[in-house]
Amino acid sequence: MAGKFLLEVVTPRRMVLSEKVDEITAPGELGEFGVLPGHIPFFSTLGIGEVMYRQGEKKRYIAVSWGFTEVLGDRVTILAEIAELDTEIDVDRAKKEKKLAEERLRTMSADHKDYLTVKASLDKAMTRVIVAGRRM
């Protein structure tokens, strides 16, 4: 399959995706990065956000949180703590989690011991809402 590479997204519990793709973008911890076929090899930490992968003209999305990405010439492997395909996300639950995290953040200062944990919960919930919304 010239012009394509293998994308594998794996969590500790399961293989989420194993597909030949034309392009991906992913949330590196230091910023978003993109990969096309033949990209130079590199390794990156993974932040909270969405992975977009393209097959032809069709784009699909996966919500991910924390982990690592390895890019080789013919393969990209994403090892994520959490990864959900857009079709797997319960939008109502994600919206409730987002609202709860927002309410908790309003009542705490940035130096509160749980601030970063609650902020990460908000970021994950927002990503899930955005990714689920892309399938509609």
CATH number (domain holding residue 32):
2.60.15.10
In 3D space, the residue among 36, 44, 34, 46 whose CA is nearest the CA of residue 5 turns out to be 36
In 3D space, the residue among 119, 94, 124 whose CA is nearest the CA of residue 105 turns out to be 119
Cα–Cα distance between 40 and 105 in angstroms, integer? Answer: 40
Host domain of residue 122 = 90-134
pLDDT > 90: percent of the chain: 81
For residue 14, give both structure tokens: 């399961």
pLDDT in tens, 38-67: 999 999 999 999 999 999 999 999 999 999
Enumerate the H helices of 15-59 as residue ranges: none
Give the pLDDT score at 1: 45
Could you tell me if 44 and 76 lie in one domain? yes
Question: 3-state DSSP call for residue 66?
Answer: strand
Is the pTM higher than 0.85? The answer reads yes
